[in-house]
Amino acid sequence: MSTAETDTPARPTASSSSSPSASTSASGPVLAPTRRGRWIERWEPEDPEFWRRTGRRVARRNLVLSVLTEHLGFNVWIVWSVVVVNLRPAGFDFTADQLFWLISAPNLVGAALRVPYTFAVPRFGGRVWTAVSAALLLVPCLLLVVAVRDPETPYWLFLLAAATAGVGGGGTFSSSMANISFFFPERKKGFALGLNAAGGNIGVAVTQLVVPVVISLGGGVHLAYAGLLWMPFVVVAGVCAWFLMDGLAEARADTRSYATALRDGHTWVVAFLYVGTFGSFIGYSFALPLLIRSTFPELEAVPALARLGYLAFVGALVGSVARPLGGWLADRFGGARVTALTFAGMALGAVGVVSGLDSHHFPVFLGSFLWLFVMTGIGNGSTYRMIPAIFGARARRRAVERGTSADEEARAARRRSAAVIGIAGAVGAFGGFLVNQVFRIAHVHLGTVAPAVWVFFGGYLLSVGVIWWCYLRRRLLVTRVPSLAHENV
């Protein structure tokens, strides 16, 4: 059986050791061993025979390992949402304003890191960077342990420790999504990207469920356990990524796609929509435990409920599980239609949250947030599915209008889609920071978060209008963002 068919590196030869390239095979990808590790020089996922014989197996293996690393990234990223609600019981006396900044800092840094992390995939390759990004998760874990060991620790060290958690879900998410987008054929990208993202997003729920239990082991509150818990898993993930993942030469083809994507109007339309979907998901995930504790302080008298983090983990859980559904629905009905409907559903959920606040009714409050999480999950999957659909549709149009090669246009579209995934992911993550800051301002200065929820309500309605204007109406749009209304995006 050939090297491509067995999916194992070829033994180095005199010629291969001096060049990173190798001969191609008609039956599957060629793995060219170099000093950096394994590289796949030929990758044709749109070829049904290629996909059946070798592509599917390789793509699935890389997807599983990517999900593992991204999951741990979200575990580390979100851990401060649990830590902040346990700081006072552990002997740390911080104001509400300071607590909201501790959950905002990971969002801000994570969003900023998404841009360089996305560029790291074409620079270093998906395999290498996945291993590196996993190893970097040890930094916020260690700083958390250092910060919580002494009640006299200054606030600035807490803020620094929280900020470094941004290397988790913030950074690893973009590089992971950009890398995985190259492995799957167009018809399977929606579900694959949704599954990859959901595997990471569900790390939020796992942390919010497991960490409150772990830090209470042995009696009292042991916040250092929140950092120590993930370190062995991080080491395992990094080792597995280094030895078992593959690098795609196509993913390193060029970096010009990123510069081109930045000038494309559709990039910023999708990025704006992702602010509403993912920004809401991660912003609510960080804020919900603190919102519940500050809005319904009587729940502290229920020890079982407090130990389970006031059930805040359920929101992130249902939102994560819903993300692949969003990708699947978008594959079937079109991402623009599904995303528009989810924003309408999110507006409805915001009304429910305000109702729960006004009546001080916890079941209504939590139930409305769970509905919001489901909608954000579906919207996350459908919005990301729009990206390859948009640029794939434009590639087909260019091939017809210019008479260029459809295959070459498709390759360029895949590279540009990967770039947009990273850019949109970075901008969308800033939405989480904005959500936390709007909550902070409303809570600290107005005494209630209801005005913040009405702000989000208005943003969701605006997003519905943007989708209709750019992708659903049947007239030619402005030149800057040409109409794709007749395409199933």
What distance in Å separates the CA atoms of residue 86 and residue 75, rounded to the nearest whole number?
17
- Indicate if the pLDDT at residue 197 is higher than 90: no
- Model pLDDT, residue 408: 76
- Model pLDDT, residue 71: 93
What distance in Å separates the CA atoms of residue 438 and residue 440, rounded to the nearest whole number?
5
Lowest mean pLDDT among 67-71, 127-131, 211-215, 420-424: 420-424
The residue-averaged pLDDT of 458-485 equals 72
Instruction: Please indicate whether residue 419 or residue 234 has the higher confidence score (pLDDT).
Output: 234
Q: Are 92 and 84 in contact (CB under 8 A)?
A: no
- Indicate if the pLDDT at residue 38 is higher than 90: no
Instruction: Please indicate whether residue 332 or residue 480 has the higher confidence score (pLDDT).
Output: 332
- Model pLDDT, residue 20: 37
- Indicate if the pLDDT at residue 432 is higher than 70: yes
The residue-averaged pLDDT of 156-164 equals 95
pLDDT classification of 363: cutoffs 50, 70, 90 = very high
Instruction: Please indicate whether residue 97 or residue 126 has the higher confidence score (pLDDT).
Output: 97
- Indicate if the pLDDT at residue 476 is higher than 50: no
- Model pLDDT, residue 3: 34
Q: Are 357 and 448 in contact (CB under 8 A)?
A: yes
- Model pLDDT, residue 310: 77
Q: 109-118, pLDDT tens digit by residue?
A: 988 887 788 7
- Indicate if the pLDDT at residue 242 is higher than 50: yes
Q: Which domains does the chain have, with CATH numbers?
A: 1-42 (no CATH), 43-472 (1.20.1250.20)
- Model pLDDT, residue 143: 96
Q: Which of 174-188, 288-302, 408-422: highest mean pLDDT?
A: 288-302
Q: 4-23, pLDDT tens digit by residue?
A: 333 333 333 333 333 333 33
What distance in Å separates the CA atoms of residue 27 and residue 467, rounded to the nearest whole number?
42
pLDDT classification of 196: cutoffs 50, 70, 90 = confident
b/e for 123-156, b at 16 or more Cβ within 10 A? ebbbbbbbbbbbbbbbebbebbbebbeeeeeeee
- Model pLDDT, residue 169: 66
- Indicate if the pLDDT at residue 146 is higher than 70: yes
What distance in Å separates the CA atoms of residue 88 and residue 298, rounded to the nearest whole number?
16
Q: Model-level pTM?
A: 0.78
- Model pLDDT, residue 201: 81
pLDDT classification of 254: cutoffs 50, 70, 90 = low
The residue-averaged pLDDT of 297-324 equals 84
What's the chain's average pLDDT?
83
What distance in Å separates the CA atoms of residue 79 and residue 211, rounded to the nearest whole number?
8
- Indicate if the pLDDT at residue 28 is higher than 50: no
> Percent of the chain, pLDDT > 90?
44
- Model pLDDT, residue 19: 36
Instruction: Please indicate whether residue 336 or residue 35 has the higher confidence score (pLDDT).
Output: 336
Q: 264-280, pLDDT tens digit by residue?
A: 888 999 999 999 999 99
